[in-house]
Every structure is written in C-alpha cells, then in structure tokens.
Structure 1
C-alpha cells in the first residue's frame, strides 16, 4: 500500500491585513510537526503544497525540521476555497467576525451553506461543485503518483482536507461542514491506497502539539 498524509497549514494571521501567512504560533506548530515526523522515521517520496503562502510556509518549516531533502512541489489544486468571497456574498454582516474567530466561524458556516446550495452560483468565482471536483482531482493525482510502499505529504487547508475525508466517507456537505469545523492547525489526516482503493484511516491527528498550541484558525 501507499500512504498519503494530508497536513493542514499552521495557524495563519487571522485578524491582520494579511491572513495568508503563518503566525509565530503557526511556525511553532509546523516545526513541531516536522520534528515529530522525523522521530517517527517517515521519509516521504514526495512533498506537495497548495500554492497559498501559509501552505508553502508550513511545508518548508515542517520539511526543515524533519530534515527531509525531498524537493517541494506545488499543486494549486490543493488551495483553499475563497472564504472572503463567500462571506461578502452573504446578505448579512457581523463586524465582530473580523477579529473574533467564533463570530467568523458562525458567519462562514452560513456563507458556506448558501454557497453549497447551488442556488446562487453566479455570485462565486468557484462554485461548491467546482471546488469539490478540484479537490477530488488533486487527491487522485497525489495518490496516483505513488508507487506501492511509498508515502507522500501534502500541505493544504481545512476545507480541502475536510472534503477529501468526507468523500472517502461517502459524505456530502453536512459531513464536510462538520469536519471543516474541527480541523486543527498542523493536524494530520492519513489515507492509505491499495488494491481496494483509497481508505481514510486517521483524521486530524495532532498529538505533536502541546494542548496550549492547539488552534483552529
């Protein structure tokens, strides 16, 4: 069998002008992940990141801490959906959502439900169906690139990873929304692939983090 490890990026810079960069805590989380993977002896044949800054930074910090010499590839198929666009399309606003992560999450879930309904597709540059097909394609490419016995690490974001997990669980939007809500920064989701296809064997593992380092945004 081959093994694919999907890693959520470290904590980004929520509440600042540039969300798409790691915070100091996000760098610590990424380093802790790489250190843990190095101790486990895991040596991936491939390391892939989405094209977003926070994803690439996480991949580089984790790879450095793990002391991997494997080149880093980029696949924009693993990019996150545009949360700002979803929220801006919602016919309501909450000023607290700019700095309060809980208020932001409530607004995002309302916006995501509207997005996935299919009734407002003209409001979005990428529909929910296009997003899920993009993630399906990225997942298939990542698995198909591995030979038997090889492993790979992919650094992505909560929405993308939650959809990959929901797909393998034969879930739909409600499953995706529930998984997306609880994905931890730098958490690891494990997928194995063999003669019976792709199987989700672990979701959101984050034992490499001290409790005080666990974040969701």
Structure 2
C-alpha cells in the first residue's frame, strides 16, 4: 500500500488585507507538523501543494522542519474554492463577517448551500460540480504512480480536503459541509491506496498541536 497525507494549510491571516498568507501561528503549526512527521519516520517521495500562498508557505514550513529533500510540486487542482465569489453572489450580507470568524462561517455556509444547489451556476466563476470534479482529479493524480510503501504529502485547504474525504465516504454536499466546518489548520487526513482502491483511515488528525494552537480559520 501507499499512503497519502492530506494536510490543511496553517492558520492564514483572517481579518487582514491579505488573508492568503500564514499568520505567525500558522507558521508554528506547519513547523510542528513537519517535526512530528519527521519523528514518525515519514519520508515522502512526492510533496505537492495547491497554488495559493498559504498552501505553499505551509509546504515550506513542513520541509524545513522535517528536513525533507523532495522538491515540492504545485498543482492548482488543490486550490481552495473561491469564498469571495460565493459571498459576492449571495443575496444577503453581514458586515460582521469581515472580522468575526463565526459570523463569517455562518454566512459562508448559507452561500455554499446556494452554490451547491446547481440552480445558480452562472453566478459563479466555478460551479460546485466543477469544483468537486477538480478535486476528484487532483486526488487521483496525487496517488497515481505511487509504489508500495511510498508516501505522498499534499497541502491544500479545508474545502478541498473535506470534499476528498466526503468522496471516499460516498457522501455529498451535507457531508462535505459538516467536514469542512471542523477541519483544523495543519490537520492531517490519511488515505491509503492499494489493490482495493483508496481508503481514508484518519480525518483531521491534529495530535501534533498543543491545545492552545488549535485553530479553524
């Protein structure tokens, strides 16, 4: 069997002008995970990230802390869905969502339900169906060609990882939404691939983090 580790990026910079960069806490989270994986003996033959800055910065933190010499590859298929696009298309607004993470999450979930209904696809740069197909393809590509006993590490975002997990559980939008809601920054989802296909064995493991370092946004 081969093993794929799906890693959510470290904490980004919510509430600032540039969300798409790691906060100081996010850098610490990525380094803590790199140290944890190194001590666990993880030595990936493939390291991948989406194209977003927070994802690429997390990969660098992992590599530096773990001491890996595998050069990272960027696959935009692992990019997160465009939350701003969803919120801009939603007919309601909540000014508090710009700085209050809970208000933002409530509004985003309402906007996500509208997006996933497939009744308003023309309103979005990427439909929900296109997003899920993109993640399906990225997941297949991430494990393609991995030999028995080989590991791959992919750094992505909560929505993308939640869909990969929901797909493997034969779930749909409700399961995706529930998983997306609880994904921890730098949390690890472990998928094994063998003769019977892909199997998710853990979701959102964040045992490498002190409790005070656990963040969701």
Q: Calculate the TM-score normalised by the size of structure 1.
A: 0.99
State how many pairs are aligned.
217
Provide, for residues 79-115 of structure 1, a one-character-per-residue CA deviation record: whole Å limited to 9, x for no partner: 0000011011000100000000000000000000000
CA distance in 2, matches of 1:207, 1:37: 11
SS at match of 1:132: helix
Q: In structure 2, how many angstroms separate the alpha carbons of the residues matched to 1:10 and 1:85?
A: 22
Aligned match of 1:100: 100
Cα deviations by residue, 1:57-85 (Å, 9 ceiling, x for unpaired): 00001110000001000000000000011
Unaligned regions of 5+ residues in structure 2, if any? none
Partners of 2:151 and 2:164 in 1: CA distance:
17
Once the two structures are superposed, the pairs formed by residues 90-169 of structure 1 within 5 Å of their partners are 90-169=90-169
User: Is 1:26 the equivalent of 2:26?
Assistant: yes
User: Segments of 4+ in structure 1 off by > 4 A?
Assistant: none
The corresponding residue for 1:74 is 74
Cα distance in structure 2, aligned partners of 1:110 and 1:99: 18
Q: In 1, distance between residues paired with 2:161 and 2:63?
A: 19
Shift of 1:145: 3.0
Instruction: Tell me the distance in 1 between the aligned counterparts of 2:184 and 2:168.
Output: 19
For 1:62, the equivalent position in structure 2 comes to: 62
- SS of residue paired to 2:154: strand
Measured after TM superposition, the shift of residue 148 of structure 1 is: 1.5
Distance 2:128 2:80 in 1: 12
Question: 2:183 corresponds to which residue?
Answer: 183
Q: Deviation of residue 149 (structure 1)?
A: 1.3
2:172 alignment partner in structure 1: 172
Q: Which residue of 1 aligns with 2:11?
A: 11
> Matched residue of 2:212: which SS?
helix
1:139-183: CA deviations, max 9, x gaps?
000111311211000000000000000000000000000000000
